[in-house]
Structure 1
Amino acid sequence: MTMLDGKVAIVTGGGSGIGQATAILLARHGAAVVIADIDEGNACRAAATIEGAGGQALALRVDMRDEEQVAAMVADTMARFGGIDLLDNTVSYNAPEQTGSDGEIHEMDIAIWNRALEINLRGPMLAAKYCIPEMLSRGGGAIVNISSTAGILSLGTVPAYAASKAAVHSLSQSIATAYGKRGIRCNTVAPGFIDTPTTRKMGDQFFQMTLDNNVLPYLGQPDDIAQAALFLLSDAARYVTGQLLAVDGGQTIHLPVVADMWRMTAGQPLVEIA
């Protein structure tokens, strides 16, 4: 028996990157997994990987900004698996075309601001809105919302993304407080810079700067975030709720001058990227 046997999980943004790694890991530990993604092809490929390994999966194309589509996602999940126990909100909108910048606030296209809040905050809220009643009908459940270290400390170049991700943890705390007595836990995972095909588009220079400022001598992989989500969604974390877990290689634990001090004593770059 594995830790999630008999559980049904929805992973939003589950078609690629961190979401895909999370969906596959939850399935490996016994959960039936619904993979919701705006890219239907990616969702189907992730589901096929799970089914090929003997697991149960359902791929759904869902635009998480659309309340009707989110409601249909939950209805389809109920029709296929009969219940919902776990929700992982990995769905995310980053800077336009992964340039690493939303634009400065005084010249930002308001559409970028709106899109960031619609996807990064409205999406998880809608997923919770429709999943929570089904969790309550089963006596409780667990939710993990994926935030970002950009929502903890300012990166400066992504104000829309950062504001939406900071708000995600407030949403988690509100859910944890409102539904804890009814058996629902909710926590936030804040990834640091994770090595994915999407983030690779930001270039080796950005990777190197990130690595120089990490305490650990390597960058995170999608499975590092998936493992944190697995823990928080499982009964191993039964006494953990309303918390924010930064999975960031030590990025947020030190003063900004530390990387410069390392360079003074050890030369640069500190570690070469792979």
Structure 2
Amino acid sequence: MSQQRLQRERLLHHAADVLEAAGRLGRVMLTTSQGGATHERIGPVDRVERSGFAVRLAGAAHDADIDTAALGAVILDRSGRIKDKVLPRLDFQGKDGAVLFSLVGLDGLEPFDAGVAELRGMATEAAEPVEAMERADLAEDDPGSLPFEVARCAGVPVTIELRRDGLRQAWSGNIEAVKPAMGFINVMQPDFHLHLRAGAVGRWRMRADRAGPDGVELLAENVRGELIGLAVRGPAAVLARRD
């Protein structure tokens, strides 16, 4: 079987070299999860900016900064499907072998394979089963939805960011809707999805936004008081309200 047809390949390239192909893959979804929050940016990558181990994916649909020194192997996986459509992806693993983030090709296999044609790999083991997020009932007073509902009602732009070791990804804009469904708080925009598991946030820690004197940053804490990496930034007049 040729390498182009392998279902899973471990690419024989550094993660920074693989990321340089991101702009050739058509519409992609960069998805990453931590602490019950899944943060997804959706659309073509307009620019790939590289400086040493640092790689930035930028454009109208992407805003991600990646420290490739924190990454390990990159796995090209062609096994994903929705109905009859193949959704190939690149899984970027951390040094511990766990997937830090994935780039999922939304235009199907042909443009994705064309974009990675210069990258070569070797066969790897079958994919580990993806562990589903534990689903919980969403309480009406779940604190996770508070900053999103406040920003939506006020009609002000905010930035929603997820930070992990080796990755920072953000979206900025006006929230059109906050949709609770199947145990998750969902913020759904054409180029951005946030899925926040019920009960993932115990409270929001507020601090001044370093970007300006009129802004604040809310940092999500779990019920044990640990930061989960999710942050919301926006005008203090809206996000700092206590009423």
TM bin, normalised by shorter chain, reads under 0.3
Higher helix proportion, which one?
1
TM-score, normalised on structure 2?
Answer: 0.23
Of structures 1 and 2, the one scoring higher in RCO (CA 8 A, sep 6+) is 2
